[in-house]
Chains A and B, each alone.
Chain A
Amino acid sequence: MFKYRAEITKGEEIRYISHLDYAALIERAFCRSKLPVNYSEGFNPRMKMAFASALAVGVTSDAEYMDFELVKPLCQPEVFERLREALPPGVELLRLCTLDGKHKALMAEVDLAKYDIFVPLAGTFLEAQRAVQDFNAVREFTYERVTPKKKREIEVKQYMKLPITVSSREDGLFMTMAIIIKPSGSIKPGELLRVLRESFGMPVDEQQALIYRRALWGQGKPLIELIEE
């Protein structure tokens, strides 16, 4: 089999679709491209495709990665062109590399996600700045993640690669977050905003935040550059 890794985007047009729907639209794009994609064996064949890290509804990204397999070795420019043409609005193919030899799964390679966030301000910038400073200063912080199925306590600070930054922009805040992804899990930027509001008094409504994933790294570089050695 002939493996490839692609760097793609999730743009404004499709900001509000789920990860599952995102994967489905990529699959349909592959069908339209007529690229000879490899399928799993068995009764219910699935396209062999893997993503690095799921992206939440409402989040855009310029750093989505997926590995896929073709049954024929097509040259990079041809694969690039055919896939690019079949992608819907909101998904751009930025880079494409062939994957030779053994490689870890994308999921296992990713260890860092960088986000830019814009969120309207419901108080003063000073309050916001203080909240972020306080959060950055604490050593540990426990957050209770509530899902429809269960509640779980999570120590948040273990996932902070760098301090959160905040600056004033138009009538809101511009923030950056660098979040560590561990095999055991991670935390979402939306959850961090909630922590900041609930426990550090940041005057924002995280429902209104526009979150953008700028980078997804492994060992200090974008996932697609890991294979160019």
Chain B
Amino acid sequence: MVKLEPKILQAVEKPARYTGHEWNAVIKEHACVDCTFALALPDVYEVGMSNLGLKILYEVLNQRSDTAAERVYAPWTDMEEKMREAHLPLFSLETFTEIGKFDFLGFSLQYEMIYTNVLNMLDLSGIPVWAAERDENMPFIVGGGPCVYNTEPIAAFFDLFIIGEGEEVISELVDVFIHWKTAGRPGGRRGFLLRAAKLDGIYVPSFYEVHYDEAGQFSSIAPLEEVARPVIYKRVIKDMDTVRFTEKPVVPYLDIVHNRIMLELFRGCSRGCRFCQAGISYRPVRERTQERLKELSRTLVDATGYNEMSLTSLSSADYSCLSGLVDELLHDFHEEKVSFSLPSLRIDSFSIELAHKMQQVRKSGLTFAPEAGTQRLRDVINKGVTEENLLTAVSAAYRQGWKSVKLYFMLGLPTETDEDIIGIAHLAKKVVDLYTAIKGRRGVKVTISVACFVPKPFTPFQWVGQNSQEEFRRKQQLLKENIRDKAIQFNYHDARVSFLEGVIARGDRRLDHVIYEAWKAGARFDGWTDQFHYEFWMSAFAKCGIEPEKYNQRERSLTEPLPWEHTTPGVNKEFLLREYHHALKEESTEDCRHGKCSACGVCPNLGVRVVDWGDADV
């Protein structure tokens, strides 16, 4: 057990990040269970505690009487310094057990820029960062989450990955572990991994060998073991109603990023935006029933004492029974003063009406994502939204009393011209002018938040070259020059971070040394603007003799093998190619949730189907 001295806790920012004891935290005696599982999110407590996936897995595991699951997050830099000074190892928040003593350490990998934190947390736990160097007494290091659709840049740091939705397979993994352990750990570490690799959705990277051609490009990945399958399909939950959801989430003492109940309405989004990886990787759409959601919301309010609930999904307004559900929830929780919110709004009046109904009081601001500034480019990305849709939705919002609108856009989308960029400024101006036209006065605030496009694996744009940093900066400048109205606030991303994200997102195993060197140089919390050190990364690339531009800026051939294709969300490559060609021709593709099937392949490949209760009523 790790004991934290007051002299440490009283010298760091927000010590309650490290002291546990929260409501609903599950504390078990390790001597009384067969498997201990540390669940980590490699970011600071307030971010880690807001992750829904880990909340679910925490309960799935702790529901088992033979397993104890505990939480661990990345100590902030001040705490890391104190811990290293005092030789304190990383510990769990439930029983303050050294992380190195757990059977498993699972990391939720949310995005590329937290990889150095994974290495840092392993190091703080006294666990070698390279999987090959771990000995028999060390935990198995497991990776999961949205980043598993290209695990290769971090493959060497992990013993195994869970591909896809974890609720079922994580328990199967524990079963395999307990069997192996009771049998006297036959074959040691490798023996367990051989058994685990037989499970659907488990990828053991050390059981594969990667080949490169003479030009130094990825050519193939081949299994080294019989149990290692050439392609690992993601795991997927077929019935969202019966699968375990979080019912007693841990309630933090500190204010965290999402300090409220998260009620997951459905999984998946099939609107088919062509830049969006989540739109592919969470397919198909599977809704919970209104009845089940009502039941869960009651359980969650009673178990937490929260008076705020967010109805989450990739596009919550698409939930087929949303209107009815919201009416019921508002009615059921009126006395208890529970308020509800939708994290993402569709660009239509229906969404505005709903948002209005839910936010009777504070009109805190509405967020829409037109993503591109012209109709032409929105057609390229299959964002089925017109300028008219946006202006209609915004007018409805203004009439209901909102006076702050946030718009999300991207720079550097395929086929983009300067005209498309200036289009963003024009659209924002129209949104401002609309307020004056409706209200007869000025006073609106329009924020445009403009990201740099990062092409991602398993999207129709997985082959395209990313803009160079210079190009991104030129475009940011061009946009800035075209914004003249003071009511418009322009936020944009650091092109250097998007560049790195672009490199790692479509990287291969040769990048593991770069990540290692960057971490060695001191890189951590790379997603935090104040902690980001571009120079650490550049010297790491130089040291490893790797040209990063080959990974992000190169236009890939449509026929070349891609290094991430063996851990797949089940989408057919032909579909992605088809979509890419449609994009270039500015042709749209229907949402299969209501329209016709676009043959992406996910349902047949995974043996699952779309669940939409709106259709069921018809």
Task: Show the binding face of A for B, using Cβ within 8 Å.
Answer: 13-17, 21, 24-25, 27-32, 34, 39, 43-45, 57-58, 86, 88-90, 120, 205, 207-210
Q: Which residues of B contact A15 (CB under 8 A)?
A: 19
Stretch of B10-18, B212-220, B278-286, B440-448 contacting A (4+ beta carbons < 8 Å): B10-18
| Contact B305–A57 (Cβ < 8 Å) | no
The docked-state distance in angstroms from the alpha carbon of A27 to that of B337 is: 12
Q: Does B588 contact A (CB under 8 A)?
A: no
Residue with the greatest number of chain B CB neighbours at <10 A, chosen from A16, A57, A86, A90: A16
Q: Are B302 and A32 in contact (CB under 8 A)?
A: yes
Q: Which residue of B lies closest to A11 (CB)?
A: B21
Closest CB of chain B to A72's CB: distance in Å? 12
- Given A43-B361, A58-B6, A208-B7, 12 more contacts at CB 8 Å? A27-B307, A31-B304, A31-B305, A32-B304, A44-B361, A44-B362, A45-B337, A58-B15, A88-B22, A88-B253, A209-B6, A210-B6
> Which of B11, B20, B22, B302 has the most chain A CB atoms closer than 10 A to its own CB?
B22
A32 adjacent to B9 (CB under 8 Å) = no
Mask for B62-99, Cβ within 8 A of A = 1, else 0?
A: 00000000000000000000000000000000000000
- B156 contacts A by Cβ under 8 Å: no
- Bound CA span A17–B9, Å: 11
Q: Is the CB of B301 within 8 A of A16?
A: no
Contact B21 A14 (CB under 8 A): yes
Given A21-B253, A31-B301, decide whether A16 and B23 contact each other with a Cβ distance below 8 A.
Answer: no
CA distance A170 to B336 in the complex (A): 50
Q: Does B306 contact A (CB under 8 A)?
A: yes
| Interface size counted on chain B using CB atoms at 8 A | 29
Bound form: Cα–Cα A19–B105 in Å: 34
With contacts A57-B15, A205-B7, A210-B6 taken as known, whether A86 is within 8 angstroms of B305 at the C-beta atoms is yes
Verify if B251 is at the interface (C-beta below 8 Å from A).
Answer: yes
- In Å, the complex CA distance between A67 and B15 comes to 28
Cβ-closest chain A residue relative to B25: A89
Closest to A31 in B: B305
Say how far B257's CB is from chain A's closest CB, in angstroms. Answer: 15
Q: Given the known inter-chain contacts A21-B255, A32-B304, please indicate yes or no for A13 contacting B19, CB distance below 8 A.
A: yes
In the complex, B254 has a CB within 8 A of chain A: yes
- Evaluate contact between B15 and A16: CB separation under 8 angstroms: yes
A49 to chain B, nearest CB (A): 13
Given contacts A14-B21, A207-B11, contact A43 B16 (CB under 8 A): no
Least CB distance from B565 to A in Å reads 47
Q: How far is the CB of B341 from chain A (nearest CB, A)?
A: 15
Q: Which of B7, B16, B305, B307 contacts A17 (CB 8 A)?
A: B16
Q: Given the complex, which residues of A lie within 8 Å of B306, measured CB to CB? A: 28, 31
| A75 to B305 CA separation, bound complex (whole angstroms) | 22
Within the complex, what minimum Cβ distance (angstroms) separates A75 from chain B? 21
Among the listed B6, B9, B304, which residue makes an inter-chain contact with A28, where contact means beta carbons less than 8 Å apart? B304
Contacts A16-B19, A31-B301: A207 and B253 contacting too (C-beta < 8 A)? no
Q: Please, which residues of chain A bring their CB within 8 A of the CB of B336?
A: 31
Distance (Å) between the CB of A215 and the closest chain B CB? Answer: 22
Partner of A25, one of B6, B7, B253, B307: B253
Nearest neighbor of B306 in chain A, beta-carbon distance: A28
**Whose C-beta in chain A lies nearest to the C-beta of B362?**
A44
B332 to chain A, nearest CB (A): 14
A121 to B304, CA, bound (A): 42
Given A17-B254, A21-B255, A39 contacting B337 (CB threshold 8 A): yes
A90 to B251, CA, bound (A): 14
Cα distance A208–B8 in the bound complex, in angstroms? 8
Task: Say how far A31's CB is from chain B's closest CB, in angstroms.
Answer: 4
Question: With a CB–CB cut-off of 8 A, which chain A residues contact B6?
Answer: 58, 208-210
Find B21's partner among A13, A24, A43, A58 (CB 8 Å cutoff): A13
- Which residues on A sit within 8 Å (CB–CB) of B16? 14, 16-17, 21
Name the residue of chain B whose CB is nearest to the CB of A28. Answer: B305
Distance in Å from the Cβ of B12 to the closest Cβ of chain A?
9
Shortest Cβ gap from B86 to chain A (Å): 13
A207 to nearest B CB, angstroms?
A: 5
Docked-complex contact B362 and A43, CB < 8 angstroms: yes
Of all chain B residues, which has the CB nearest A88? B23
- 7 closest Cβ pairs, A-B complex: A28-B305, A31-B305, A16-B15, A13-B21, A32-B305, A88-B23, A208-B7
Q: 28 A-B pairs, CB-CB below 8 angstroms?
A: A13-B19, A14-B19, A14-B253, A15-B19, A16-B14, A17-B254, A21-B253, A21-B255, A24-B255, A28-B23, A28-B304, A28-B306, A31-B304, A31-B307, A32-B304, A44-B361, A44-B362, A58-B10, A86-B305, A88-B22, A88-B23, A88-B253, A89-B21, A89-B23, A205-B7, A207-B10, A208-B7, A210-B6
